[in-house]
Amino acid sequence: MMITTKGRNALKIMIDLARHEGEGNISLADIAVRQKESLKYLEASAAQLTAAGLTVSARGKSGGYRLARKPEEYTAAEILQIGEGSLSPVQCLISGCENACTCDTLPLFKELDEVITVFLSSKTLRDLIRG
């Protein structure tokens, strides 16, 4: 499994917002500078996070983004799933497979999927900003 730029950017945005929690709305331009990322790429991830209810956005002079909940209420798994769509190591776990009954690799990938999910679900946004 490889986390793409979309997943990493979603996580970077959320970590930055958590680090600046309590400072009001944070502009995406400021996040882009701090995270050394393209504003254009961050815009797509920010829109996904807002659509999923993980962030709240505001327009105008004091506009920007902020977390919808406390940092300890988010998991890395939840955030990455917004950016990636799925964290499954193989497509057949997502859409099924006609060879599932005879596939010798399916048990391995099911177990790997569970390990990934448990690990990422155990890490909160608060944990990530603490380092």
pLDDT, tens only, 18-45: 999 999 999 999 999 999 999 999 999 9
* Encoded tokens for 20: 């600046």
pLDDT of residue 94: 82
Each domain of the chain, given as residue ranges in start order, spans 5-130
pLDDT of residue 77: 97
Domain over 5-130 is classified CATH 2.60.40.10: no
pLDDT, tens only, 91-111: 888 877 777 778 888 889 999
Q: Rounded distance, CA 86 to CA 33, Å?
A: 28
Record the pTM.
0.90
For residue 26, the number of C-alpha atoms closer than 13 Å in the C-beta half-sphere is 22
Q: Rounded distance, CA 44 to CA 11, Å?
A: 13
Q: Rounded distance, CA 8 to CA 35, Å?
A: 11
